[in-house]
Structure 1
């Protein structure tokens, strides 16, 4: 998996972007992967004989099983051997996925999971039901927004993170789960049957700048993404959009088929989308066609937003629209991942993700470790990289990175003019009081949970309002 710390470009915190998607979909934050169509989830090759080169591996396995001073599961040794072979490739994208990692990738690619259809908000003190999807077990059981989550199957989740609670709630479709909530100081335990939940990978809205431009944000590419993109275009057309911005910032990639379908929708039939170059032979060229897009076409002017975390399948889509249709790319240099993976099933609980090819842009460029260069480069505002405040409260005399983050937020919002040194001194206290006064909060000078939440919300709103990349893209799309 890619190491996020090695990115060339800044990474904008998800809390600041506030796109309102089930984003974390991208394999738990995995950057840059494209899973090849057709061969996805095919069975791994069955070996009927042991090659000479593997005789020593088999001998080592047998020796350990017979002589090691402790019992070792055969599956543990086998997985170790597989991981070793994949590691020898020196390819961060090829790896063994077992149990939870396998389930994470599978649910990411399908954008589905077994659950109850409710999202959970972690306030720092409580886990609250934040939203409920229609026609889901949570809706039918009359869960309500604001209910406090107390336990799952009798095990307390008080003090746990939202991700820990979600992991307990999710499970196999058709199985039962008991959720204990607190509503108006009354405890209630509700039993629900987990159902197949499909997450949204696409969000859409008319631009606040001009109602003639529709903005479509794609968080990742999964099985339902192409259909969700088509529905977004139809909805925005009805609302008056005559051009579109496709926002791929922070999109780590995903299922290649979805990216191909969306590219085909936006290109004339016969135009090249991507070239897939395997180890031998000529490149396989994918072109726009009714087979890929079902006859649905986007003929309106387009602009595409990219940044340093736009990778793999999102780069394939961006390059296709740019080189085959002249669609402008706005933002920052993309990640630069020009390889394609195939997922091969080993068992019910294990699979390998293996790099099987490299992909080239329509013009034959390999952008691996280089990325796509925007047509128009636009930087994020300096405050866009401020980290979220993880503490539930801060007080005078505290000294920490969270205090520094708060000082940076207060500075960006115009309340703090001191040194952002991470020390909660009198200047910081005065700035907190000024912010509390402006927000109608009690002016204590203490940064309690409500103050911190409001601070982060205000900075997110400021970014949504400022967003120089989006403004540039909307302007370009609207002029086409």
Structure 2
């Protein structure tokens, strides 16, 4: 790069100085903080002197984004172009989709939540996956609305979604299906029909109503105790978390404290105002993991500290801040962290999370590294082959040694798997084979769930 420094005469240099002076005077005549004088000067300088015409909207949007970037806070974000806050954004039931919600971060899009029993869940996508491509086309810098529009499509058609998880990339090929917007689902535990399992995928506007209906339904079906599954739940609306927390607490008990930057606290207490008089007094356990965050942690902490309800699973995420969303004009919003929240006993769990009473890790099969390749064949070596061998071993297909080499035993196991699943039995792990492997593994992990077993056992005692 060549940098050319040109000494300027009074004309241009003087113009820059005058612009700054004018900005200062303008600031003094208004309620705009004087610290913004350089920003106004820069804006006027660029708009008046740049050698090309300038999009002023992009300039102001860029200035706002720059301010937020200095906060080093991933939860303070400027949302534009119909990308309204999606704390409760779900794919419409009138479209074919994959059952995942997308959120806008500072410089990327990521999976915010995944609804149960949907293509995204079955394929093995996870909360936090960074969205890169849809059907091979880059969407990483697009708006949420444009990315969602590409994922949606006719029910029964296939969509390929490429994500990044850690340092690995993977493409999930999924058939779109009609997606319901239920954030709460419930069924009796397969191992004990007196235990009702309630899963909350995210906290949004309909969550409280759906939760009440689910509890009533399970009671009628014979549930005498409950497991509340908050795993992979990234949070959502604080009001929904407060209502559900109140249902499990005695009236008058503190369910949440919110503290502003001056130390002033707002205390929320259980009562009819929050829960409308609906209470859950049955024995309960709460499932959490590393992606249980924010509103999930509010709920888990309140149930644990107020009603001695055990937490089962892995340490939670540790998001102890509160965001507010303000309108910034047409189709623009500013989501800003405004306070921190404390558990009923005053603990701030930010970056610490909640520690489970009954610690249960995900099985090794749930931690298999993503496969980058779209095809693996005999003779290949490396981490992708290792992941393939681990998946085959977990599914008990063939007799494979995990050695990172696509050897004869691996080829034979792949061929066996393909035959069993009515795929072309070539012995080469093509994209369809890898996708089917991921789906089968996801189904097995759902069925053989040691965390769920521990939680059911805890409430059945």
- TM-score, with length taken from structure 1: 0.71
Distance of aligned partners of 1:389 and 1:235 in 2 relative to their CA distance in 1, 3 Å threshold: farther
Distance of aligned partners of 1:61 and 1:111 in 2 relative to their CA distance in 1, 3 Å threshold: closer
Once residues 308 and 251 of structure 1 are traced to their aligned partners in structure 2, the CA distance between those partners, rounded to angstroms, is 9
Deviation sequence 1:342-392 (CA, Å, 0-9, x none): 111102222111111111110011111111111111111111112455766
Single out whichever of 208-217 and 273-282 deviates more from structure 2: 273-282
Note if 1:419 corresponds to 2:397: no
Match of 1:118 in 2: 96
Q: Report deviation, 1:338.
A: 0.9
Matched-pair contact (CA < 8 Å) for 1:302–1:327 = yes
Matched-pair contact (CA < 8 Å) for 2:98–2:151 = no
Greater relative contact order structure (CA < 8 Å, 6+ sep): 1
Matched-pair contact (CA < 8 Å) for 2:292–2:316 = yes
Match of 2:189 in 1: 207
Matched-pair contact (CA < 8 Å) for 2:95–2:154 = no
Matched-pair contact (CA < 8 Å) for 2:96–2:154 = no
Q: Report deviation, 1:242.
A: 0.9
Note if 1:469 corresponds to 2:447: no
Once residues 416 and 165 of structure 1 are traced to their aligned partners in structure 2, the CA distance between those partners, rounded to angstroms, is 42
**SS of aligned partner of 1:474:** helix
Match of 1:325 in 2: 307
Once residues 154 and 314 of structure 2 are traced to their aligned partners in structure 1, the CA distance between those partners, rounded to angstroms, is 44
Once residues 253 and 65 of structure 1 are traced to their aligned partners in structure 2, the CA distance between those partners, rounded to angstroms, is 42
Note if 1:350 corresponds to 2:332: yes
Once residues 456 and 113 of structure 1 are traced to their aligned partners in structure 2, the CA distance between those partners, rounded to angstroms, is 23
Q: Report deviation, 1:434.
A: 3.7
Matched-pair contact (CA < 8 Å) for 1:273–1:361 = yes
Match of 1:290 in 2: 272
Match of 1:250 in 2: 232
Q: Report deviation, 1:471.
A: 0.6
Deviation sequence 1:117-158 (CA, Å, 0-9, x none): 43359xxxxxxxxxxxxxxxxxxxxxxxxxxxxxxxxxxx98
Once residues 180 and 449 of structure 2 are traced to their aligned partners in structure 1, the CA distance between those partners, rounded to angstroms, is 30
Q: Report deviation, 1:439.
A: 5.4
Distance of aligned partners of 1:158 and 1:278 in 2 relative to their CA distance in 1, 3 Å threshold: closer
Instruction: Specify which of 456, 467, 477 is matched with residue 438 of structure 2.
Output: 456
CA RMSD of aligned residues (A): 3.2
Looking at CA atoms only, which structure, 1 or 2, has the larger radius of gyration? 2
**SS of aligned partner of 1:370:** coil
Instruction: Specify which of 308, 317, 326 is matched with residue 290 of structure 2.
Output: 308
Aligned pair count reads 375
Q: Report deviation, 1:393.
A: 4.8
Once residues 448 and 225 of structure 1 are traced to their aligned partners in structure 2, the CA distance between those partners, rounded to angstroms, is 40
**SS of aligned partner of 2:87:** helix
Match of 2:322 in 1: 340
Distance of aligned partners of 1:262 and 1:99 in 2 relative to their CA distance in 1, 3 Å threshold: same
Once residues 86 and 452 of structure 1 are traced to their aligned partners in structure 2, the CA distance between those partners, rounded to angstroms, is 40
Note if 1:269 corresponds to 2:251: yes
Distance of aligned partners of 1:310 and 1:410 in 2 relative to their CA distance in 1, 3 Å threshold: same
Match of 1:54 in 2: 36
Once residues 389 and 88 of structure 1 are traced to their aligned partners in structure 2, the CA distance between those partners, rounded to angstroms, is 35
Once residues 381 and 341 of structure 1 are traced to their aligned partners in structure 2, the CA distance between those partners, rounded to angstroms, is 34
**SS of aligned partner of 1:213:** strand
Structure 2 spans left out of the alignment, 5+ residues? 1-28, 100-133, 158-178
**SS of aligned partner of 1:253:** coil
Matched-pair contact (CA < 8 Å) for 2:88–2:203 = no
Structure 1 spans left out of the alignment, 5+ residues? 1-46, 122-156, 171-177, 183-196
Once residues 369 and 360 of structure 1 are traced to their aligned partners in structure 2, the CA distance between those partners, rounded to angstroms, is 13
Deviation sequence 1:230-263 (CA, Å, 0-9, x none): 1111121121111111111111111111111111
Q: Report deviation, 1:454.
A: 4.0
Distance of aligned partners of 1:260 and 1:161 in 2 relative to their CA distance in 1, 3 Å threshold: same
